[in-house]
Amino acid sequence: MSRKPRIKSGLGHSTADKIFVRGYDLTEELIGKVPLGDVAFLELKDRLPTPQESVMFNALVVTLVEHGLTPSTIAARLTYFGAPEALQAAVAAGLLGMGDRFGGSIEQAARTLQEAPSAGDLEKIAGQIVDSHRAAKRIIPGLGHPVHKPADPRTTRLFALAAENGFAGRHVELMGLIADRATEAYGLDLPVNATGAIAAVASEMEISWRICRGLAVMARAIGLVAHLQEEMEEPMAPEIWSRAEDEASAEMSSHRD
């Protein structure tokens, strides 16, 4: 019987006594030999990283693991409070908030860089990108910071690592030029922020912008598990809930669900 459209994932398969991940024998070649971040690179790129790629890729995801009490970690804690039987659901609830506003800014910055002309004068291209965003009244992704300070320390660090490891190429340069042009054009201090730096380096590593928010998702899953471990030991959810309610509605506690 012919069944045309095959379903065959290139990620994993196995035989009676072997398991393969991206063609590597899981037990012989990966477990105990290749660390987690490099396996993540293998999953995405279909090959193991070079030493330079390993440093750079691990740096990108490590930047995204932990940011304290964010909307995402708070949502995870509140979800665990209601459903302690399902840790995985609380992690999932936290990841659901890694959308357009957070993970999405990496995606948009990477898209801007990856859709820019692959040849031609970068200063001119940076100017065109800033102009087109201004004309459309769209925010330029990957720039700016809420609190005033010279620069995001993560950007400085990631760009230094990019230079040391051979990833300070065209996309990184373009990201910096966009920041310069935007700072001029708007008369505001608009340095490259952490999401812009991650987007630029990921672009150098030929990670498609379509999957860039996935970097935040995989990294934050780790952080969320740690937040839930802390929540199990010292629950914060009841106090977070209590603070969210106004005094006027304090009586609601009697009917809460």
- Which of 47, 67, 124, 138 forms a contact with its own copies (CB under 8 A)? 67
Nearest distance, CB of residue 42 and its own copies, angstroms? 9
Report the run of H or E that residue 93 belongs to, with start and end: helix 87-96
Please tell me whether residue 37 binds its own copies under the rule CB under 8 A. Answer: yes
**255 touches 98 (CB < 8 A):** no
Question: Taking CB under 8 A as the criterion, which residues in 132-191 touch its own copies?
Answer: 145-147, 149-150, 152-154, 156-158, 160-161
Kindly state the tokens that stand for 79: 């979800």
Among 96-104, 116-124, 129-137, 183-191, the segment contacting its own copies (CB under 8 A): 96-104
Distance CA 243, CA 169 (A): 48
Please tell me whether residue 130 binds its own copies under the rule CB under 8 A. Answer: no
- Which of 53, 58, 159, 205 forms a contact with its own copies (CB under 8 A)? 58
Binding mask 196-225 for its own copies (x = CB under 8 A): ------------x-xx-xxxxxxx-xxx-x
Please tell me whether residue 84 binds its own copies under the rule CB under 8 A. Answer: yes
- Which of 48, 52, 92, 185 forms a contact with its own copies (CB under 8 A)? 92
Report the run of H or E that residue 256 belongs to, with start and end: none
Kindly state the tokens that stand for 57: 């890729």
Please tell me whether residue 53 binds its own copies under the rule CB under 8 A. Answer: no
- C-alpha torsion sign, points 77, 213, 30, 12: positive
Bridging pattern class, strands 24-25 and 12-14: unpaired
* Phi, then psi, of 142 in degrees rounded to 5: 90, 5
- Which of 52, 81, 169, 185 forms a contact with its own copies (CB under 8 A)? 81
Quote the Cα angle for 253-254-257, to 5°: 80
